[in-house]
Amino acid sequence: MIIADKKPIEEIIQEVKDYDRLLVLGCNECVTVCEAGGKKEVEVLASALRMHFIKEGKEKKIDERTLERQCDHEYLEEIRDVIDQYDAVLSLACGVGVQFTAEKYHSTPLIPGVNTCFLGANEQRGMWTERCQACGACILARTGGICPISRCAKRVMNGPCGGSSAGKCEINKDLDCAWQLIIDRLRDLGRLDDYEIVAPIKDWSTERSGGPRTVVREDVQV
């Protein structure tokens, strides 16, 4: 899922201070699971903002709403009848949700309430780690199910590099060397011969370096 982290309240206050009618808009998907922008976080942030502005003696309307998703037309349509009641929307969705909401409600300023971080897994309660960089051409079948693009600092395709030491990466002694993990797993799977196969030069055009990407699936289009 998409992992996001909360923005500091001070930063949010600075961004919203000029708007008198604000909608704090949460998202029920990824940001709910990573506890950054779900219904609970919307309630807490809206309450904190209301208190801050009451204390400052400012009269502001700060409402709360959480949509099923902010990256789908049908759920975003749910706020069409109320959007005119607000001067701005503080969206706690990921960057996708914020932008999609901004595109849909062109005349309403959108403010992000979270920092969108990466595609990751919930490794343990309160800890999320990166697992995918959405390169658009998955090679996990060849690397024992461990991704050298997202988990190797250098994105080395035929690793490890010389910076791998005792199974750790040179950039951080707490960071596992992805290629050490790959070799260990291939050995456990009895497929260490796969390691001998030199990976071809990767086609990076499906990655971000090829510009913003689009997936078109005519088979599911109506």
Partner 1 sequence: MRLKCPANFRIIRLPCTGKIDVIHILRAFEKGADGVYVVGCMEGDCHFKTGNFRARKRVAQAAAILDKIGVGGDRVKMYNLSSGEGPLFAQYSIEMDEKIRALGPSPIKVALQAKKEAA
Contact residues toward partner 1 (CB under 8 A) are 8-10, 13, 40, 43-44, 47-52, 54-55, 57
Contact call for residues 59 and 97 (beta carbons, < 8 A): no
Q: Is the dihedral of CA 65, 93, 89, 115 positive or negative?
A: positive
By beta-carbon proximity to partner 1, the closer residue of 50 and 202 is 50
- Minimum CB separation of residue 17 from partner 1 in Å reads 12
By beta-carbon proximity to partner 1, the closer residue of 57 and 211 is 57
- Cα–Cα distance between 48 and 35 in angstroms, integer? 17
> Beta strand pairing status for 21-27 and 61-67?
parallel
By beta-carbon proximity to partner 1, the closer residue of 71 and 114 is 114
Residue 169 pairs in a beta bridge with: 172
- Minimum CB separation of residue 112 from partner 1 in Å reads 18
- Minimum CB separation of residue 131 from partner 1 in Å reads 27
- Minimum CB separation of residue 9 from partner 1 in Å reads 5
Preceding omega of 200 cis (within 30 degrees of 0): no
Phi, psi (rounded to 5 degrees) for 18 = -90, -5
By beta-carbon proximity to partner 1, the closer residue of 48 and 119 is 48
- Minimum CB separation of residue 117 from partner 1 in Å reads 20
Q: Where are the beta strands (DSSP E) in 68-104?
A: 88-91
- Minimum CB separation of residue 52 from partner 1 in Å reads 4
Of 82, 191, 205, the C-alpha closest to 146 is 191
Of 160, 157, 151, 152, the C-alpha closest to 131 is 151
By beta-carbon proximity to partner 1, the closer residue of 7 and 151 is 7
Secondary structure of residue 39 in the 3-state scheme: helix
By beta-carbon proximity to partner 1, the closer residue of 35 and 170 is 35
Structure tokens at 188: 């456990």
- Cα–Cα distance between 219 and 13 in angstroms, integer? 46
The one-letter code for the residue type at 163 is G
- Minimum CB separation of residue 29 from partner 1 in Å reads 20
By beta-carbon proximity to partner 1, the closer residue of 49 and 89 is 49
